[in-house]
Structure 1
């Protein structure tokens, strides 16, 4: 997502629409966040945009157009979209999902909102990673079709052993890989890399101080907003969190 939203192009986009609150997804560069008024995650985006909409604010949204469209439909907010998409979720296919559902008639469909509209429309649950995990852990259905990065399945199996989990399709019958929902960037994060980072302090990411200060503002604003509403959140499932 961040590669599809170059900072210079995004800055020009923002400059062309100065009357809008700039809201960016967490999967963006520090330079893009430096131009934003708000940063959001998929677990708090709806609430933050709803609040801005209630205050009469117009939104400039980046980078994922599918997530932006879903939020716009849910909130009714005036949102101008950057034309970006996640390389994983953008590949889910509505028709193939429909055919898969026919093969698993008792399964509930869990979908991350970064997915195309034709996929989201078939969902029993639409939500963030933690929301989808919670749906499996607390749900009573024996089977679930999961439309998000397949790395989530490991955690689901840990927390809900015995339930059947089926990967949502990303391709048609002629494809060599029917369910290829795997992010190569997230897969670069492994235990060996984590240990090496903790022991050696490498590799380092250097962000110049002016960019850091500007980017921090939209992150702090999100954290302050969610903290103010934390007391209203209940029913958190242990071991899942709120990401």
Structure 2
């Protein structure tokens, strides 16, 4: 599968490179014809720093950010975003004048939760949500509901790759979207043309990576 990797470059910088693999893949909510590989962007220091800086440059200067909630293993990008926010003139309500970077947990019922020791970094805070990928928007909606439940106020949403332009009236900032990957499609599971053509799945995928079948 790896020998099919295609590279796409972000308009935000030549060192922000999206790697995508064509095929037949299953997410938790849909089937897609490309696996979008975020490994380099999330784990290489220089790439993660470039993504973090580019996201912060897109935020209105009056945006208040106290906490960055990271999904899909985006903590390195989140840390660089926090650093850029602190270097700039972005306001924060935190008494230590620093930005929290946190990750929710999923319990046995696959519900998104924050443990008691992290609630103080969400409750009453201005939150920026950061994801690797957004295909159908369902994970985003769950995240927004979770943050709201714990008393946070979402001030912005960033996804490295997003097929969603906005959700709940809020714009989704992305480094890449479907226009960057020729022919990218997401299908409802019961309406997938690959399944109808009896084409087997190549892998199960999510924001963390893939598992071949």
Provide the TM-score with structure 1 as the length reference: 0.34
Compare CA radii of gyration and give the structure with the larger one: 1
As a proportion of its length, which structure holds more strand? 2
As a proportion of its length, which structure holds more helix? 1
With CA pairs under 8 Å and 6+ residues apart, which has the higher RCO, 1 or 2? Answer: 2
